[in-house]
Amino acid sequence: MPEHVLVVEDEEKLAGLLRDYLAQEGYAVSVLHRGDEVEDFVRASPVDLVLLDLMLPGKSGLEVCKALRAASPQLSIIMVTARVDEVDRLLGLELGADDYICKPFSPREVVARVKAVLRRARRGSAAPDDGLVLDDAGFKASIGGRDLGLTAIEYQLLKVLHAQPGRIFTRDQLIDAMYRDERVVSDRTVDSHIKKLRRKIEAVQPGREVIHSLYGVGYKYEW
């Protein structure tokens, strides 16, 4: 079954060019020209990767990217930007794109990036067996059968981190993911919960640090 790539690009010529190159590589390719059509399309079709222009009619690539990432954590997203200045680490992290391509680019370069991102996605999707079990029904997290005794927020935090091992989350991303309502909370609050989580994990399984800090960026789960 071929992997499915969705190209979102308002410039007809470029969209066609990308479609042809990607199709030639054996991908199933769909093309949309407006930003506001993307989310519905992704919901309806099994898309593996979205090639997303930053400037789009209907809805900006930034908004689309954010929405896609929120709805589909496993979806690969490559942003296409007109200028290299637009790419900064915080913006990229907040939006959750997997890679960037700056114009002007060669179609071959795009194909190479698409391949690389999909390869990474395939590798990363194999869930590592770390013995951690998350039980949504009872809000219980356990390691090796031993309950961690987490509170609701701690459980939520661990769940978000654990869903994508190795991915780094900023504090703001974690806050957004933990609270459905748009609650305003100091980002240092995350640190407090991280502290408690670490302590409870340590109590059950001493010596193994699974939550890592990345200076200036955020936190990640890694076994």
Partner DNA sequence: AAGCACTGTGGAAGAATTGTGGAAGTCGCT
Partner DNA sequence: AGCGACTTCCACAATTCTTCCACAGTGCTT
111, 60 Cβ separation under 8 angstroms: no
Which of 10, 66, 100, 130 is the binder for a copy of itself (CB under 8 A)? Answer: 100
Q: How far apart are CA 223 and CA 215, in angstroms?
A: 19
- Work out how close the CB of 27 gets to a copy of itself at its nearest, in angstroms, rounded to a whole number: 16
Figure out which of the listed residues 4, 10, 17, 59 binds a copy of itself, where binding follows CB under 8 A.
17
Q: What is the CA radius of gyration of the chain?
A: 19
Cis amide bond preceding 104, omega within 30 = yes
Three-state SS for 80-121 is EECCHHHCCHHHHHHHCCCEEEECCCCHHHHHHHHHHHHHHH
**Would you say 123 or 206 has its CB closer to a copy of itself?**
123
Our CB check for DNA shows the closer of 45 and 192 to be: 192
Taking CB under 8 A as the criterion, which residues in 54-73 touch a copy of itself? Answer: none
Cα gap 48→200, rounded to integer Å: 36
Q: Pick from 194, 200, 210, 221: which binds DNA (CB under 7 A)?
A: 194
The answer to whether 186 contacts DNA (rule: CB under 7 A) is yes
Cβ 75 vs Cβ 31: under 8 Å: no
Binding site for a copy of itself (CB under 8 A): 11, 13-14, 17, 84-86, 88-94, 96-100, 102-104, 106-109, 111-113, 115-116, 120, 125-127, 133-140, 151-152, 155-156, 160, 163-164, 166-168, 176-177, 180, 214-217, 220
Binding site for DNA (CB under 7 A): 151-154, 179, 183-186, 188-189, 191-195, 198, 213-218
